[in-house]
Amino acid sequence: MHDLQKYEESVESGRTAGAHRGGRMKVPVFVKVLAAVACLGFLLMAVLGSPDRPLSRSEEVVGEREMVRITGPSGASSEVLALIDTGASASSVDTALAKELGFDLDAAPRITVASALGREKRPVVDAPVRLAGRSFVAKLSVNNRSKRETPVLLGRQEVQGLQVAVGKRLLTQPDSAEAPSALRILFAKAPAIDPVSMMALLPLAALLIVVLRVVVGLNTLGTFSPVLLALAYAQAGLPLGVPLTLVMFALGFAMQPLLRRLHLPRVARLGVLIAVVTSGLIASQLTLGGFGLSDSWGMSLPVVVTAIVTERLWEAWDLDGVRAAAVGATLTMGTAVLVALLLLTPYVREIAEAVPLQLALVCVVWTAIAGTYRGLRLSELFRFAPAAKAQEASA
């Protein structure tokens, strides 16, 4: 109870000192609300007036990479990522996937296919395919696509009547022309945001971090490290991003005893950690490259921020114990997943693609408004709730 009184006095004195230090001007609440509403209206008008992309996407538009569902002769089906290539005249499917679906490749007819590697004979199968809510039977040549990003390629013969949006990915679902949910994209193991939209979404991610720290009182290992981890998860997907982050943390902790014995300065420790993390990424890329992963997915994990977060984890372990370090790591990765879900929400993606500059400018104003909050954080309310109840009972 005494601690609660001292805390309230310190908060109040801090507010008073902050109000007078440097002539800080207190912004009225109605001004904040007016600015937020004006920015929201500006963003809405920008989206509606943008000629690039309306909020209601056409049912005939698909991205360069989309999730499709392929069904085998036995009724078994698989939902996989497909490359939509209008420059290819024929379609193809990976050998392992064709066998998994139950196609008899030995009895299948064969055709001669000419490619940059020469001419070869491939089995051909007729497979029911579902793309963007449409069903059709595709004639797929079977070849080894384990080194490619997608196990399926659909050529122009299979996507007639559809428009392919250049540079866009995951705009539809196999059973619907609507965009997939953020959670579904995170488990698709495929990049879904183009570089320009990614830059426009950075201020939005920073705004979410400001709200979580200033209003909620959430502490992570590094102020904006969850944002960089979220970008990695949005590009690589959770099935790859989260385990890879944990492996990088484990490698960093394995190096901790050696670095302590060497008594290296902080910059040298970070340099060694960056080298170790990079080596782990290269090893995982070489090991997992045969499973149809993108050639650049591993580089999406921010090496430097992983090294810095690992060092913060060391410090939390030494100063506050194992439990505090585990809680910090969990909050950091959990916040990164939350930010990734926000970035991949369909309407957020559409706004970032349609009006990236306007979205960034609006986030600047909203971040400034959120930073003016001086009240108690939500975590502090829960923390001091028992003491406040005890004080009321004694009164």
CB 165 within 8 A of CB 59: no
Point out which residues pair with 111 in neighbouring strands: 122
Task: Give a yes or no: residue 386 inside a domain.
Answer: no
Which of 376-379's residues contact partners 24+ apart within 8 Å by CB, and which partners? Answer: 376/11, 377/214, 377/215, 377/216, 377/217, 378/215, 378/216, 378/217, 379/216, 379/217, 379/218
Within this chain, do residues 299 and 219 fall inside the same structural domain, yes or no?
A: yes
pLDDT of residue 115: 65
pLDDT of residue 20: 45
- Which of 178, 201, 222 marks a domain boundary? 178
* Its pTM surpasses 0.75: no
Task: Give a yes or no: residue 117 inside a domain.
Answer: yes
Task: Give a yes or no: residue 205 inside a domain.
Answer: yes
SS3 content of the chain, % helix, strand, coil (to 5): 55, 15, 25
Euclidean distance between CA atoms 236 and 296, whole angstroms: 9
Parent domain of 163: 61-178
In the chain, how many domains are there?
2
Within this chain, do residues 230 and 351 fall inside the same structural domain, yes or no?
A: yes
What element of type H or E holds 25? none
Task: Give a yes or no: residue 377 inside a domain.
Answer: no
Task: Give a yes or no: residue 314 inside a domain.
Answer: yes
Task: Give a yes or no: residue 16 inside a domain.
Answer: no
Within this chain, do residues 33 and 92 fall inside the same structural domain, yes or no?
A: no
Within this chain, do residues 197 and 252 fall inside the same structural domain, yes or no?
A: yes
Within this chain, do residues 220 and 137 fall inside the same structural domain, yes or no?
A: no
- Measured CA distances, 240 to 94, 128, 187, 236, 281 (Å): 21, 29, 9, 6, 12
- Supply angle C-alpha 340, 343, 346, rounded to 5: 125
CB 80 within 8 A of CB 150: yes
244: closest CA among 291, 283, 274? 283
Within this chain, do residues 146 and 207 fall inside the same structural domain, yes or no?
A: no
Within this chain, do residues 167 and 280 fall inside the same structural domain, yes or no?
A: no
Task: Give a yes or no: residue 235 inside a domain.
Answer: yes
Task: Give a yes or no: residue 144 inside a domain.
Answer: yes
Within this chain, do residues 355 and 288 fall inside the same structural domain, yes or no?
A: yes
pLDDT of residue 284: 67
Within this chain, do residues 226 and 174 fall inside the same structural domain, yes or no?
A: no
Euclidean distance between CA atoms 254 and 276, whole angstroms: 10
The token pair at 179 is: 């965009």
Within this chain, do residues 41 and 66 fall inside the same structural domain, yes or no?
A: no
pLDDT of residue 69: 92
Helices 322-344 and 225-236: angle between axes, nearest 10 degrees: 60
Query: Beta 118-131 vs 110-115: how paired, if at all?
Result: antiparallel
pLDDT of residue 295: 41
Calculate Rg over the CA atoms of the chain: 26
Euclidean distance between CA atoms 218 and 274, whole angstroms: 27
Within this chain, do residues 216 and 133 fall inside the same structural domain, yes or no?
A: no
pLDDT of residue 117: 60
Within this chain, do residues 32 and 77 fall inside the same structural domain, yes or no?
A: no
CATH of the domain at 146: 2.40.70.10
Euclidean distance between CA atoms 48 and 354, whole angstroms: 9
pLDDT of residue 45: 74
209: closest CA among 200, 197, 199, 221? 221
- Which of 136, 154, 178 marks a domain boundary? 178
Written as one letter, the residue type at 309 is V
Residue ranges, the chain, pLDDT below 70: 1-27, 29-30, 47-59, 114-118, 189-191, 284-302, 384-385, 388, 395
Euclidean distance between CA atoms 192 and 212, whole angstroms: 25
